[in-house]
Amino acid sequence: MTSTGGCLCGAVRFSAVSEPLDAGYCHCKLCQRSTGATVLAWVSYPTASFSYTRGEATRYQSSPHGHREFCSTCGTQIAYRDSQNAATVEVNVGSLDDCDRVQPRYHIWCSSQVPWFGVADNLPRFDRSKPRKV
């Protein structure tokens, strides 16, 4: 399976040549601030399967342990990855060409969920990060 996507202006494009490893919704304050949205839908791919096919993403160190990757022209946030030895790349679902192919499995950091934002699904919810096996 190959997934493709990119930024709003088209300056940055990417490809992930593998099945997604995981997918979910994150309600943490860092995701809220970095996207300007109340929740972020993400999909995880192995780092080795992910590459930029046009342009280069700019990195922003958003925490001591991770960074965000975005288009420096239009500002579209594309991905998150650990700064040291990243095994996966967490891609923002909205940057995919075909969002319908991703099925989130759970919600994380619900302790930070915006109180007036309700999600009408029956997916598992976790106050902080997910357990090792979901």
Question: Tell me: the pLDDT tens digits for 6-35?
Answer: 999 999 999 999 999 999 999 999 999 999
Domains in the chain (CATH in brackets) are 2-112 (2.170.150.70)
Q: What b/e readout covers 13-51, taking b as 16+ CB neighbours within 10 angstroms?
A: bbbbeeebeebbbbbbebbbebbeeebbbbbbbbeebbe
> Token digits for 134?
């979901």
Question: Tell me: the pLDDT tens digits for 30-70?
Answer: 999 999 999 999 999 999 999 999 999 999 999 999 999 99
Residue 54, CA atoms < 13 Å, CB-side half-sphere:
9
- pLDDT of res. 126: 94
Side-by-side strand order, sheet with 77-82: 58-61, 66-70, 77-82, 88-92, 40-46, 22-26, 107-108
Question: Tell me: the pLDDT tens digits for 59-75?
Answer: 999 999 999 999 999 99
